[in-house]
Structure 1
Amino acid sequence: MLDAAAKTDFPIPTGVFAQTVTEVQHYTDSLFRFRMTRPDTFRFRSGEFVMIGLPNAEKPVFRAYSVASPNWDEELEFYSIKVPGGPLTEHLQKIKEGDTVLMRKKPTGTLVNDALLPGKRLWMFSTGTGFAPFASLIRDPETYEKFEEVIVTHTCREVAELAYSQELVASLKDDPLCGEFAGGLHLYATVTREDFPFKGRITDLMASGKVFDDLGVPPIHPETDRGMICGSMAMLKDTKATLEGFGLVEGSNSKPDTFVVERAFVD
Structure 2
Amino acid sequence: MTDVAAASPPAKASAFHELEVLWVRHWTDQLFSFAIARPDDFRFRSGEFVMIGLPGQDGGKPILRAYSIASPGWAEELEFLSIKVPDGPLTSRLQKIQPGDTVLMGKKPTGTLVLDALTGGERLWLIGTGTGLAPWLSVVRDPDTYSRFRHVVVCHTVRHVADLTYRDFLTAGIHDDPLIGEEAKAQLTYYPTVTREPFEHPGRITDRIRSGALFDDLGLPHGFSPERDRVMLCGSMAMIKETAELLEAFGMKEGSNAEPGDYVLERAFVG
Residue in 2 aligned with 1:242? 246
Deviation at residue 78 of structure 1 after TM alignment = 0.2
Distance in 1 of aligned mates of 2:17 and 2:248: 40
Corresponding letter in the other structure for 1:119: G
Residue in 1 aligned with 2:200? 197
Distance in 2 of aligned mates of 1:242 and 1:201: 14
Which deviates further from its counterpart, 60-69 or 217-226?
A: 217-226
TM-score normalised over the length of structure 2: 0.92
Distance in 1 of aligned mates of 2:13 and 2:257: 29
Distance in 1 of aligned mates of 2:157 and 2:269: 17
Distance in 2 of aligned mates of 1:12 and 1:160: 45
Deviation at residue 84 of structure 1 after TM alignment = 1.4
Residue in 2 aligned with 1:41? 41
The alignment of Structure 1 onto Structure 2 pairs a total of residues equal to: 257
Q: Deviations over 1:167-197 (max 9, x none)?
A: 3442111000111112210011000000000
Residue in 2 aligned with 1:5? none
Deviation at residue 264 of structure 1 after TM alignment = 2.0
SS in 2 for 1:264: helix
Residue in 2 aligned with 1:187? 190
Which of 90, 93, 96 does residue 94 from structure 1 map onto?
96
- Which segments of 5 or more consecutive residues in structure 1 lack a partner in the other structure? 1-10
Corresponding letter in the other structure for 1:38: R
Which of 99, 106, 109 does residue 107 from structure 1 map onto?
109
Identify if the C-alpha distance between structure 1 residues 84 and 13 changes in structure 2 by more than 3 Å, giving closer, same or farther: farther
Identify if the C-alpha distance between structure 1 residues 105 and 165 changes in structure 2 by more than 3 Å, giving closer, same or farther: farther
Deviation at residue 163 of structure 1 after TM alignment = 3.0
Distance in 1 of aligned mates of 2:232 and 2:253: 11
TM-score normalised over the length of structure 1: 0.93
- Does the 8 A contact of 2:170 with 2:190 survive in 1? no
SS in 2 for 1:70: coil
**2:232 is equivalent to residue 231 of structure 1:** no
Residue in 2 aligned with 1:261? 265
Distance in 1 of aligned mates of 2:171 and 2:135: 13
Distance in 1 of aligned mates of 2:256 and 2:75: 25
Distance in 2 of aligned mates of 1:128 and 1:56: 27
Which deviates further from its counterpart, 87-96 or 57-66?
A: 57-66
Distance in 2 of aligned mates of 1:51 and 1:95: 17
Corresponding letter in the other structure for 2:114: V
- Does the 8 A contact of 1:150 with 1:185 survive in 2? yes
Residue in 1 aligned with 2:6? none
SS in 2 for 1:241: helix
Distance in 2 of aligned mates of 1:154 and 1:174: 21
Deviation at residue 205 of structure 1 after TM alignment = 0.4
Deviation at residue 265 of structure 1 after TM alignment = 2.4
Q: What percentage of residue pairs aligned between the two structures are identical?
A: 60
RMSD, aligned CA: 1.5
SS in 1 for 2:269: coil
